[in-house]
Chains A and B, each alone.
Chain A
Amino acid sequence: MQKIMVCVKRVVDYNVRVRVKPDGSGVMLDGVKMSVNPFDEIALEEALRIKERAGGAEVVAVSVGVADTQQQLRTALAMGADRAILVQTDAPVEPLAAARAFLALARKENPDIVFLGKQAIDDDANQTGQMLAALWDRPQATYASKVEILGNKAAVTREVDTGLETIEVDLPAVITVDLRLNEPRYVKLPDIMKAKKKPLDTVTPEALGIDLGQMLKVVKTDPPAQRQKGIMVKDVAELVDVLKKKGLIR
């Protein structure tokens, strides 16, 4: 194991209740707390554990986004990544565009594994890892809940609708992580200080020779349909009564 690349996305913090702008032009993002996508923290944690078990390997955190994404990459460096690369752009980045950027970086860096989150909690797309694997022509193991490195192979247990599935992939491979893979470590203050000295490179899409052009145009953003306010019942007898009357149970 020489090198592990981890994709880290800057997203609205999961505790923020996102609201739609009244004019339907998008969601309100001004002054909102931004964080590392929670799945990507799990991805990075797994990379760090593999590095620690193997007694070495370089962990490179990468991202595509605005200049401020440096904050999230600094968090990744504080967690333990060795260096970071930001592909900087102000344009919205669709999953296929992100995958193209990661392909360019993977070709440069030649990692043994690229870890991504299973989904970003802003666009909820659940696409980028699979797309990178296709473009790179390498195996994909999505929704990982267990990763075992066996020489130049990995056995990955995946969370699927019917339970758990295990597949074996040759390395290099793309692995996307699910919630129960691990519990990410907390960042300590000295780590934050140390992270300031770690290398964080910024590159432009042009320098990588890629086009991040959008293919889907967002024409409108609406709030979700609201549910009608319901009723409160005083005890189970009344609850069962209401449900029986509605014909929902017998």
Chain B
Amino acid sequence: MNKILIVGEHDGAHLNPAVAKCVTCARGIPGGEITIALFGADTAAVAAQAAQLGGVHSVLRIDRAENAHPLAAILAPQVAALAAEHTHVFGPSTSFGKDLMPRVAALLGAPQVSDLMAVESAHRFRRPIYAGNAIITVEADPARKLVATVRVASFEAAGVGGSAAVASRSLDVALPSHTRYVGAKTAGTDRLDLQTAARVVSGGRALGSAENFQMLFRLADKIGAAVGASRAAVDAGYAANEMQVGQTGKIIAPEIYIAIGISGAIQHLTGIKDAKTIVAINKDGEAPIFEVADVGLVADLFQVVPEFERLVSA
């Protein structure tokens, strides 16, 4: 039997929406039994959320003061200990999962499939390489454990309605003291989350300044969208780093993605391939973004964005 352990990302209060996508991915594994492990100082609230996800067999709470902040060096030995009872260990392809899972894999001497995008069988998966320019099918040895990060844009969220058993677990694992959490500077705004928003407005180098970028925030607010950016816009300081979309930023799959003043470099496109509808506004009709856009408009953004904002109702 396949027993899949999902490391559940959370912030203490909310289960990260990526976890529900990992569950859908894990459900694709034939004959799988799914366990979600939650590490934290107090995971009661998030355990209740995890237990509701359809198809989950059990939820394990590993509450420990050292787990208050998700440090890979602290969590990895605990995940590896729990993995003894599992065939597969999955985490989301978020900065949390990307940081943690390879450390777990190495402790287990197991291979990792990064950005798993499709399950073909319990040991056969598809994943992108070369910024999504190629998709490989990989086969893992069934005799070994398999670690994977799940490309969240590739899976729908599992629905609620489940009622998995929740249990507390104490693990007898020595934890290192060589890594310490100091602090965080989070955007902490009430803006929509880029990774889960149904609509995203995104800006590139063409915006020219952080002030001009405000134009996009106004448009986004009007249509209920999250705001993203190209690497060039982030590097130039027009947008915050967590807004970067692409190969080395966030990979997203909104219903609609509106790219404004973005050329459409391959590294950017890999982040938006799964968007249902791509809209591009660019003054250069030859910009590569138009090759993937469902709806394109060749125009100066400074003229059309204010008009766009006027024409949509809140």
Within 8 A of B (CB), among A67-92: none
Interface SS, A side: mixed
Assess whether B87 is interfacial by the CB under 8 Å rule: no
CB distance A134 to B273 under 8 Å?
no
CB distance B102 to A221 under 8 Å?
no
Cα separation A139 to B73 with both chains bound (whole Å): 6
B186 to chain A, nearest CB (A): 4
Residues of chain B with a CB closer than 8 A to A235's CB? 297, 299, 304
Cα separation A118 to B112 with both chains bound (whole Å): 16
Contact partner, A162, options B109, B114, B242, Cβ 8 Å: B242
CB distance B307 to A236 under 8 Å?
yes
B70 to chain A, nearest CB (A): 10
Cα separation A167 to B71 with both chains bound (whole Å): 9
Contact with B along A125-145 (1 / 0, CB 8 A): 111111111110111111101
CB distance B295 to A124 under 8 Å?
no
Known contacts A99-B106, A236-B308, A248-B199; is-contact A163 B112 (Cβ 8 Å): no
CB distance A119 to B248 under 8 Å?
yes
Cα separation A227 to B182 with both chains bound (whole Å): 44
B219 to chain A, nearest CB (A): 10
Nearest B residue to A223 by beta-carbon distance? B134
CB distance B179 to A134 under 8 Å?
no
Contact with A along B122-163 (1 / 0, CB 8 A): 001000111111111111110010000000000000000000
CB distance B106 to A239 under 8 Å?
no
Within 8 A of B (CB), among A194-226: 215-225
A231 to chain B, nearest CB (A): 6
Residues of chain A with a CB closer than 8 A to B165's CB? none
**Chain B interface, number of residues (Cβ within 8 angstroms):** 89
Contact partner, A218, options B132, B138, B183, B267, Cβ 8 Å: B138
CB distance A230 to B311 under 8 Å?
no
Interface SS, B side: mixed
Contact with A along B41-84 (1 / 0, CB 8 A): 00000000000000000000000000000011100100000000
Assess whether A18 is interfacial by the CB under 8 Å rule: yes
Assess whether B293 is interfacial by the CB under 8 Å rule: yes
Residues of chain B with a CB closer than 8 A to A250's CB? 223, 312-314
Nearest B residue to A176 by beta-carbon distance? B99
Assess whether A161 is interfacial by the CB under 8 Å rule: yes
CB distance B242 to A236 under 8 Å?
no
> Could you tell me which B residues sit within 8 Å of A by CB distance?
71-73, 76, 94-96, 98-107, 109-115, 124, 128-141, 144, 176, 178-188, 195, 199, 223, 231, 234-235, 240-242, 247-248, 250, 255-256, 266-267, 273, 277-279, 281, 290, 292-299, 304, 307-308, 311-314
Q: Apart from A165-B183, A230-B294, what are 10 other A-B pairs with CB-CB below 8 Å?
A: A96-B112, A124-B129, A125-B112, A126-B114, A130-B100, A155-B182, A160-B96, A162-B184, A163-B240, A166-B182
